[in-house]
């Protein structure tokens, strides 16, 4: 199956090209207080190491807007400010380093205030994401169409296009659109119809999707179907969870559709009565370790040392164990037997060696990922760290 991407306009956000067939961008949002620079930077660095490519932060007050200068200086990906209602915060965010803003133009305070926001966006060459969701639709559209449903998502679509028109009339067309619902089928229907009548880049998401299990399922169904249709230029898996989990799910979704790959693929058995090792803990530890790797390996974590290597013989590397002994195998062939208590550390060391063989220590993205992983190992960031980042000239 070949996925044919829908043609959309290209916008540039920091160093990213979005739309027009460029790679689909993985996005997340921090859940720290934005005016707590140390905590926000620490979380963003963890997200970077996991593969996040675009980050959005809430800007509810002036202190948060002013914090963007230090935050941007300490991170390596484009920074977007999320604004509700107060147009002055949108302008302040741009003045303090936001490279893009997310607003709902209809609730920013009228045409004159929106014009000031657009003028600031043009000055800073910052794209505007017009974000509409089921809970923010204008009363008149709800009266006209009713609450959005899979059969009739018209209120969502018309609200988005009306708000896009306001930005266009104010003189700016570096625009990305999102129309989110907490209902999976409404999300799918709305985006499909919007994509048919609009060529702006689209940001996909299911709003208020839920916790790890419910949120992963709902987002994967809705976004998976849309991405398979070729719809979507950026997306976020929204989870009531550590946002790093959003990135793990996002890359697995892209990998499953063969759209993009990043790092190893983990395969593991579901366990049975023959399992004689704590496979759940092993699989989780390996999954977390490979999250910052880049080499596209197939990694297996198996519970049975008798059948494991054979069942996972296509894996580049795998482990299996039980009853005090573990094995490490490559392409189905056992390469080492180790005591069970040494199985995990020796396996992770072997993974790191394979990563170095494939990419080389001089590979800059890999080196940065390793550096970030080392930085985050028990590190608590403080103001001195942020100052050091700025002196290093981080973008």
Whether 251 and 316 share a structural domain: no
* Residue 307 lies in domain: 265-360
Q: What is the DSSP letter of 276?
A: B
- Least confidently predicted of 78-87, 190-199, 232-241, 309-318: 309-318
Whether 241 and 93 share a structural domain: yes
As a whole number of angstroms, the distance between CA 90 and CA 102 comes to 9
CATH number assigned to the domain comprising residue 272: 3.30.413.10
Whether 218 and 316 share a structural domain: no
31 lies in some domain: yes
As a whole number of angstroms, the distance between CA 92 and CA 69 comes to 11
Predicted local confidence at residue 395, as pLDDT: 40
Please count the structural domains in the chain.
2
Predicted local confidence at residue 275, as pLDDT: 76
Q: Among residues 224, 256, 288, which one ends one of the domains?
A: 256
Predicted local confidence at residue 385, as pLDDT: 55
Whether 59 and 125 share a structural domain: yes
Whether 209 and 328 share a structural domain: no
Residues 332-349, mean pLDDT to the nearest whole number: 91
394 pLDDT exceeds 50? no
207 lies in some domain: yes
Q: Which ranges in 270-339 belong to alpha helices (H)?
A: 279-290, 308-311
141 lies in some domain: yes
Report the Cα 352 to chain-centroid distance in Å: 24
Whether 174 and 25 share a structural domain: yes
Residues 40-67, mean pLDDT to the nearest whole number: 96
Whether 115 and 162 share a structural domain: yes
5 lies in some domain: no
Hey, how many other C-beta atoms are within 10 angstroms of the C-beta on 138?
17
More confident residue, 276 or 66: 66
Of 26, 37, 32, nearest to 77 (Cα)? Answer: 26
**Strand-pair partners of 178:** 131
Predicted local confidence at residue 361, as pLDDT: 47
Can you tell me which residue has the tokens 């080196």? 367
Whether 179 and 79 share a structural domain: yes
Whether 250 and 281 share a structural domain: no
Q: Is 328 exposed, middle or buried (0-12, 13-18, 19+ CB in 10 A)?
A: buried
Work out the percent of the chain whose per-residue pLDDT is above 70: 90
Whether 168 and 273 share a structural domain: no
1 lies in some domain: no
What is the residue-averaged pLDDT of the chain?
88
Put the strands of the sheet holding 100-103 in their side by side order: 175-180, 128-133, 100-103, 79-82, 54-58, 25-29, 234-235, 203-204
Q: What is the pTM of this model?
A: 0.85
The two tokens of residue 114 are: 């929106």
CATH number assigned to the domain comprising residue 47: 3.20.20.20
367 pLDDT exceeds 60? no
Whether 78 and 171 share a structural domain: yes
366 lies in some domain: no
Q: Among residues 191, 225, 256, which one ends one of the domains?
A: 256
- Least confidently predicted of 95-104, 222-231, 262-271: 262-271
Predicted local confidence at residue 107, as pLDDT: 82
As a whole number of angstroms, the distance between CA 225 and CA 257 comes to 10
27 pLDDT exceeds 80? yes
Of 289, 207, 283, 284, nearest to 240 (Cα)? Answer: 207
Tell me the CA distances in angstroms from 224 to 150, 152, 173, 391, one per residue in order. 17, 21, 28, 42
Q: Which ranges in the chain belong to alpha helices (H)?
A: 37-50, 62-74, 87-95, 111-123, 139-145, 154-169, 184-197, 212-228, 243-256, 279-290, 308-311, 340-359, 364-376, 383-392
More confident residue, 270 or 150: 150
Whether 154 and 201 share a structural domain: yes
Q: Work out the pLDDT band at 309, boundaries 50, 70, 90.
A: confident
Q: Are 282 and 319 in contact (CB under 8 A)?
A: yes
Of 390, 289, 373, 369, nearest to 38 (Cα)? Answer: 390
Predicted local confidence at residue 360, as pLDDT: 58
């Amino acid at each position: 199956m070949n996925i044919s991407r829908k043609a959309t306009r290209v916008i540039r956000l920091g160093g990213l090209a979005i739309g027009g067939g460029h790679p689909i961008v993985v996005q997340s949002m921090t859940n720290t207080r934005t005016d707590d620079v140390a905590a926000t930077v620490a979380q963003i660095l963890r997200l970077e190491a996991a593969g996040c490519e675009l980050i959005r932060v809430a800007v509810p007050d002036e202190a948060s807007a002013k914090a963007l200068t230090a935050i941007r200086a300490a991170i390596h990906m484009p920074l977007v400010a999320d604004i509700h209602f107060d147009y002055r915060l949108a302008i302040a965010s741009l003045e303090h380093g936001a490279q893009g803003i997310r607003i709902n133009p209809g609730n920013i305070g009228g045409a004159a205030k929106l014009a000031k926001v657009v003028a600031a966006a043009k000055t800073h060459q910052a794209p505007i994401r017009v974000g509409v969701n089921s809970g923010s639709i204008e009363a008149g559209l709800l009266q006209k169409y009713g609450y959005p449903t899979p059969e009739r998502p018209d209120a969502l679509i018309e609200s988005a296009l009306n708000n896009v028109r306001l930005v266009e009339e104010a003189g700016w067309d570096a625009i990305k659109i999102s129309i989110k619902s907490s209902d999976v089928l409404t999300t799918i229907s709305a985006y499909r119809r919007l994509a048919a009548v609009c060529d702006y880049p689209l940001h996909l998401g299911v709003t208020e999707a839920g916790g790890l299990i419910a949120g992963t399922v709902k987002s994967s169904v809705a976004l998976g179907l849309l991405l398979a249709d070729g719809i979507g230029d950026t997306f976020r898996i929204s989870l009531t969870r550590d946002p790093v989990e959003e990135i793990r799910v996002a890359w697995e979704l892209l990998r499953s559709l063969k759209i993009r790959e990043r790092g190893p693929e983990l395969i593991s058995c579901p366990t049975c009565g023959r399992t004689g090792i704590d496979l759940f803990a092993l699989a989780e530890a390996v999954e977390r370790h490979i999250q910052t790797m880049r080499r596209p390996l197939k990694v297996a974590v198996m519970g049975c040392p008798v059948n494991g290597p054979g069942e996972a013989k296509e894996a580049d590397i795998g482990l299996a164990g039980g009853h005090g002994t573990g094995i490490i195998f490559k392409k189905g062939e056992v390469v080492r037997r180790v005591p069970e208590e040494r199985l995990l550390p020796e396996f992770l060391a072997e993974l790191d060696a394979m990563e170095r063989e494939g990419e080389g220590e001089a590979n800059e993205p890999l080196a940065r990922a390793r550096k970030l992983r080392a930085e985050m190992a028990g590190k608590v960031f403080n103001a001195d760290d942020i100052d050091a980042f700025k002196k290093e000239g981080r973008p």
